[in-house]
Structures are given as C-alpha cells and as structure tokens.
Amino acid sequence: QVQLVESGGGLVQAGGSLRLSCVGSGRTFSDYNMGWFRQAPGKEREFVAAIALFGGSPYYADSVKGRFTISRDNAKNTLYLQMNSLKSEDTAVYYCAATSRPLYSGNSHYIAAYEYWGQGTQVSVSS
C-alpha cells in the first residue's frame, strides 16, 4: 500500500495562488493513478482533479477547469495541484488519493474509485 501526506495549504487572498503537494511512500508511486478531492465545511467531499500513472489524461471538475493544474513527478514520488485565481468558494480541506485500479473519465470523480487517502491540508481563501 501507499501512504500519502499533503502539504502546501494556507491562507491566501482571492485571486492568489497556492501549490499543494502530496508525497507518497511505501509502494512504487508510479503504480498509482492519483486524484485531488476537497471538502468544505458542511459539504460532501468532492472531486477536483485526477491524473493517470505517468501523467497523461488529466481530468478536472468544471469548477476548477482553467484555474487548477494537476501534475506529478514520479521520480520524487510527488503529486501537485497548482491553484491559480483562487476564489472564496475554493476554501476547503484538500485531500490527495491514490488507486491502483484503472482510472478514466467515467470513474475518476468517484470517492469509491480510490483506495488510499492522505490526511488533508487546509486551504482558506479570503475575499
């Protein structure tokens, strides 16, 4: 199995940027398709973005498309989420997730598609 640890969250003004990182340890990082989810207070956890084993075919939620970019560096066992033009509605705890199962556009947004989760990092955007 893989252990995941997120970092990079913080407080930022609307319109600003943050880059989240998620470091994996344990099994080979490139064995896993990866995703980012977020959960705002009082709301369900929702899909943000996903990326395949070797960086191809990224998927994005409509709410972040054009503002967020998911990427990975398998040599560093690290997943990234570059977040630009942040809005107050982006405020949430952000989680990275991993799965060894096939990931495609039809299932990448389902929580149940992922096997392993990090503990989350808080992102707060002030308006």
What pLDDT tens digit does each residue of the chain (127 aa) get? Answer: 899 999 999 999 999 999 999 999 998 999 999 999 999 999 999 999 999 887 777 999 999 999 999 999 999 999 999 999 999 999 999 999 999 998 888 899 999 999 999 999 999 999 8
Tell me if 1 sits within 8 A of 114, measured CB to CB. no
pLDDT at residue number 66 = 97
Write down the pLDDT at residue 46.
98
The pLDDT value recorded for residue 106 is 84
- Helix, strand and coil content of the chain, in percent to the nearest 5, comes to 10, 50, 40
Residue type present at position 120: G
The pair phi, psi for residue 82, each rounded to 5°, is -85, 120
* Res 41: pLDDT: 93
| pLDDT attached to residue 22 | 98
Q: How many CB atoms lie within 10 A of CB 73?
A: 12
Instruction: Give the angle subtended at the CA of 42 by the CAs of 17 and 110, to the nearest 5°.
Output: 75
pLDDT at 56: 75
Q: What is the pLDDT of residue 105?
A: 81
